Structure 1
Amino acid sequence: MIRILLFLIVVFVLDLGFAWLADRPGDIVVTFQGYQYQVSLMVAATIAVAAIAAAMIVWWLLKAVWTSPYTISRYFRVRRRDRGYQALSTGMVAAGAGDGVLARKMNKEAAKLIRSETEPLIQLLDAQSSLLEGDHEAARNKFEAMLDDPEMRLLGLRGLHLEAERLGDRAAARHYAGRAAEIAPHLAWAANATIEERVAAGDWDGALKLVDSQKSTRQIEREAANRRRAVLLTAKAQALFDTDANAARAAALEADKLLPGFAPGAIVAAKALLKQNDLRKASKILETAWRSDPHPDVGALYVHARPADAPGDRLARAKKLQSMRQNNAESSLLVARAALEAGDTRLARSEAESAIRMAPREAAYLLLADIEEAESGDQGRIRQYLSRAVRAPRDPAWVADGIVSDKWAPISPVTGRLDAFEWRAPVERLGTLIEQDDDLARNALLPVGIAEESDAETAVVLDAAELKVEPSAPAEEKPLEPGANPAPQPAPNAVKTNVQHEAADNEDSTPHQPDDPGVDRKGAESHEGRRFRLF
């Protein structure tokens, strides 16, 4: 567009020049070697312009002829380079798709057409092809060779870092990530690995500086940066709790401010405040955490914040937390434990059963067993609750990468990942039958005696090899007297098991232990037609 505009401007200027000459007629007289040449001004201007144009054309032709060898060689060089980049592009796509054969083929073709010194991507394609072929040793050697090139150093460190992680060498992986972070602190993968390395070494301040750098360079979102910082400050407060109470208190309060409701941060902050006899502020922090997410450790610390409190006072504090999160299983369990300590077994049983209605799990049944032991000491019922606890879903715990821990930690003990622990229920026990879950849900709130009867009915399991069928002998046919009604005959296919014989013979004859409620015979008879489950 600009060239067209310039051309039009030149044409317009020439047109103005010729129009100006046309309005001013005149002659030009030239005397040369006794001859006199006379032309008009317009003709002279035309000859001058034509001569200039001819000179430019001749110069362009001479220059084209002179530079033709260079132009031809440049044409073939550009064509060769384009073919090389096309092969390189195809090879990179093949490497990304996992086609090792095509990637290696395109790598060789690109290396022939393009010099690897001028195009670093050829080295990358070579290393990726080796990885796809399974030759990890050659790939590591190529990544190590990249460390000598300043332009390829970060790529080599990245490749070595990934290879070290694949081999499970966490120390080497963190070493390469640390070198990359020194060269380019803005790299997220290098910064994350370096943070994990410093956390593992207990360098909390160094890890916090890296998180601040990530936040300032906008590598991570503000919320994610605040959570990471809160996790690191919580870990720092835990590490300094016994040695430097003031530093631990400052770190814990900052963590609670950045991430309100984070249970580990709230707990360590409250402990630091209680250590300095600041009960009001500690209670406020724990109440905020409880409203956000009820955690049993938060509730236990809140209830026992004052060691000198009487059991009734602790029960009152537990009820206060329950009023903040009503219709919650953790709230009910907290009140039930406090009521059991205070001797109010009736309230403890009511709250424990309420917790089971909302979330049946082993802790609630274990608590019911403790309540039963404190209230009546009935060993049969205690075993009943303990058996239900074994079959019930597991209680929540701190879980990270398959590891279950009673205490929170800032990094995973398996992978070293920061903020890996989650408060959730671990994986359920294997081998739990669906029928057991149905029984658990059906018997969750039944009285113990009735639940035992139900369990006795559904727990009868007979081995198929033990079922012995006794065919009934055909009855003798006798002549009927006149006017007599025929006696009912058994069905031709009627069978009776040995278990039924023994149950009929031994009914009410087997003594039971004082703590064993036994089996309700009437209930068993009422379900005589119930079919057995065979395994």
Structure 2
Amino acid sequence: MVRILFFILLVLALALGFAWLADRPGELSLIWQGQRIEMSLMRAATILISLFAAILIAVWLIRAIWLSPHTVTRYFRARKRDRGYQALSTGLIAAGGGDAVLARKMAGRARGLIRVDQEPLIHLLEAQTALIEGKYDEARKKFELMADDEETRELGLRGLYLEAKRLGANEAARQYAERAAEKAPHLSWATLATLDQRSQAGEWDEAIHLLDQSRAANVLDKKEASRKKAVLLTARATSKLEADPKAARDDALAALKFDDRLVPAALVAAKALFREDNLRKGASVLEKIWKQEPHPEVARLYVRARGGDSAVDRLKRARRLETLRGNNAVSLATVAEAALEARELALAREKAEAAVRLAPSESIFLLLADIEEADTGDEGRIRHWMAQALRSPRDPAWTADGVTSPTWLPVSPVSGRLDAFEWKAPPSPLAGYTEGGRLSPDDAIRSLPPVAPDQPAIVKAPPAATKPEEGQPVLEAERPIPTPAPIKVPERKEPAAPPAKSEETAAEKEAAAPFFGRPPDDPGVRERVAEEGSKASFRLF
């Protein structure tokens, strides 16, 4: 564009010059070697410009003839380079598609047409081809060559890192990732890999420092970086909880500022505050996280936060959680457990049945079995609830990479990935059976067998509480539960035998019908055998 504009300006200047000379005619006299030459000024200017153009054309022709060998050589070299790049492009596409034969063929052709020192992508094509063919040693050598080149250093380090991870050489992978993060801090894969490696080694301070650097360089997304910062602070707080509760409290509260829905951070903060006898603030932290996401561990710590509380006091605290988040299965189950400890069995049964209607799970059916044992002691009804527990969905647990953990962990023990554990239901090994054999909660409650009249109600007391050691922090969640004395329930009187009838009522037929489809073999359910006569006849078919 600039050249075109310059050419237009030059032509315009020449035209203006000739117009100016035409308006001002004159004569030009020249005496050279005794001869006098006279001509008009316009003619002299035309001859001068024509002579200048002829000189330029002559110079261009001489230069073209002189440089013609180099021009021909450069033409063929450019053509060869174009063919080489075409082969390189075809080879990379073939390697990406998994065609090892075509990729190897194109790699050889590209190497023959392009110099390797001029185009380092040939090393990449050969490395990818070797990986497809399973020649990992050759691929590793190519990645090392790329790592030594300044232009392809990051690409070579990433290839070496992936190969080290494939071989399980975690220390080598860590070194490659740290080297890449040091040379190019903007690489997100290097930052995340180094972060996972330092987290797996428990180097929380170094991991937090690296994460702060990546946040400043905008390597990670703001939301993702805040989540990882909260997880790292929670992990460091967990490691300091026993030795330095104050530092653990500060780290946990800082983690909640980055992610206010992180349940492990709230648990660590509350435990640290309870160890400092700051029950009000610790309970406030748990109530805040409970309003957002009811969690069984939060409920357990909240109910048993204060040492020395009776079962009735713990029930009051459980009812407080229910008021904060009502119509929730976890809230109802928490109240049911506390009511069972306080021996308010009617309330416990009511809340447990309401919880099982909202979200049936294994633990709630087992809780119903415990309530049944404490209330009636009927073995048949207890087995009924336990059978429903076997058929019900599994309870949520801390799960990562198919592995469950009883407590939250910052790093997955399988892959070493940071923030891998999630609170979710693990896959059930009886998923195919439970889908077809599980009853609905209402059907499970209605299908309860009647209480046997000859079976007395048995109330079992939990084990006696142990006295805590002196100097230990008062944390009810970590202490045995004090229990009251066993409750004696008078035995029920055996009703008189009913007179013989020829026809049974509908209620008696319903009571006599077994709830598992056949007469139960446990001693808790009375067997009713219909007597049709003194002689019983049996048919085989």
Q: Shorter-chain TM-score: which interval?
A: 0.7 to 0.9
Q: Following superposition of structure 1 onto structure 2, how do residues 115-154 of structure 1 map, counting pairs within 5 Å?
A: 115-154=115-154
Alignment length, in residue pairs? 473
8 Å Cα contact 2:228/2:419 also seen in 1: yes
Secondary structure at 2:409 match in 1: coil
Q: Does 1:421 align with 2:430?
A: no
8 Å Cα contact 1:449/1:517 also seen in 2: no
Structure 1 residues 459 and 243: alpha-carbon distance in aligned structure 2, compared to 1, 3 A threshold: same
> Greater relative contact order (Cα 8 A, min sep 6): structure 1 or 2?
2
Measure how far apart 1:169 and its partner are: 3.0
Q: Which amino acid aligns with 1:387?
A: A
What does residue 243 of structure 2 align with?
Answer: 243
8 Å Cα contact 2:302/2:317 also seen in 1: yes
8 Å Cα contact 2:333/2:355 also seen in 1: yes
Per-residue deviation, residues 136-180 of structure 1 (Å, max 9, x unmatched): 222122222333323333222211111122233333322221221
Q: Does 1:282 align with 2:291?
A: no
TM-score, normalised to structure 2's length?
A: 0.83
What does residue 222 of structure 2 align with?
Answer: 222
What does residue 161 of structure 1 align with?
Answer: 161
Q: Does 1:174 align with 2:183?
A: no
CA distance in 2, matches of 1:405, 1:301: 18
Q: Following superposition of structure 1 onto structure 2, how do residues 391-402 of structure 1 map, counting pairs within 5 Å?
A: 391-402=391-402
What does residue 95 of structure 1 align with?
Answer: 95
CA distance in 2, matches of 1:367, 1:438: 18
Q: Which amino acid aligns with 1:213?
A: Q
- Of all paired residues, the percent bearing the same amino acid is 51
Q: Which amino acid aligns with 2:197?
A: E
Q: Which amino acid aligns with 2:525?
A: D
Secondary structure at 1:30 match in 2: strand
Q: Which amino acid aligns with 2:15?
A: D
Per-residue deviation, residues 84-114 of structure 1 (Å, max 9, x unmatched): 0111111111111111111111111100000
8 Å Cα contact 2:270/2:286 also seen in 1: yes
8 Å Cα contact 1:237/1:268 also seen in 2: yes
TM-score, normalised to structure 1's length?
A: 0.84
Measure how far apart 1:520 and its partner are: 8.5
Moved more, 35-44 or 161-170: 161-170
What does residue 494 of structure 1 align with?
Answer: none
Measure how far apart 1:231 and its partner are: 0.4
Q: Following superposition of structure 1 onto structure 2, how do residues 516-527 of structure 1 map, counting pairs within 5 Å?
A: 516-518=525-527
What does residue 76 of structure 1 align with?
Answer: 76
CA distance in 2, matches of 1:292, 1:277: 25
Q: Following superposition of structure 1 onto structure 2, how do residues 7-406 of structure 1 map, counting pairs within 5 Å?
A: 7-406=7-406
CA-based RMSD of the aligned residues comes to: 2.3
What does residue 4 of structure 2 align with?
Answer: 4
Structure 1 residues 386 and 141: alpha-carbon distance in aligned structure 2, compared to 1, 3 A threshold: same
Measure how far apart 1:68 and its partner are: 0.9
Structure 1 residues 186 and 453: alpha-carbon distance in aligned structure 2, compared to 1, 3 A threshold: farther
Per-residue deviation, residues 29-72 of structure 1 (Å, max 9, x unmatched): 12222221111111111111111111111111111111111111
8 Å Cα contact 1:360/1:444 also seen in 2: no
Q: Which amino acid aligns with 2:349?
A: R
Moved more, 364-373 or 64-73: 364-373
Secondary structure at 2:445 match in 1: coil
8 Å Cα contact 2:399/2:426 also seen in 1: yes
5+ residue gaps in structure 1?
461-502, 504-510, 523-535
8 Å Cα contact 1:391/1:432 also seen in 2: no
8 Å Cα contact 1:412/1:421 also seen in 2: yes
8 Å Cα contact 2:388/2:438 also seen in 1: no
8 Å Cα contact 1:392/1:440 also seen in 2: no
CA distance in 2, matches of 1:100, 1:418: 36
Secondary structure at 2:423 match in 1: strand
CA distance in 1, matches of 2:243, 2:364: 38
Q: Which amino acid aligns with 1:152?
A: T
CA distance in 2, matches of 1:107, 1:294: 59
5+ residue gaps in structure 2?
452-509, 532-541
CA distance in 1, matches of 2:223, 2:530: 64
What does residue 507 of structure 2 align with?
Answer: none
Measure how far apart 1:457 and its partner are: 5.9
Secondary structure at 1:147 match in 2: helix
8 Å Cα contact 1:195/1:210 also seen in 2: yes
Q: Does 1:433 align with 2:433?
A: yes
8 Å Cα contact 1:161/1:176 also seen in 2: yes
Per-residue deviation, residues 417-475 of structure 1 (Å, max 9, x unmatched): 01100101111123752575343556322262169979946545xxxxxxxxxxxxxxx
CA distance in 1, matches of 2:423, 2:21: 96
What does residue 449 of structure 2 align with?
Answer: 449
Measure how far apart 1:395 and its partner are: 0.9
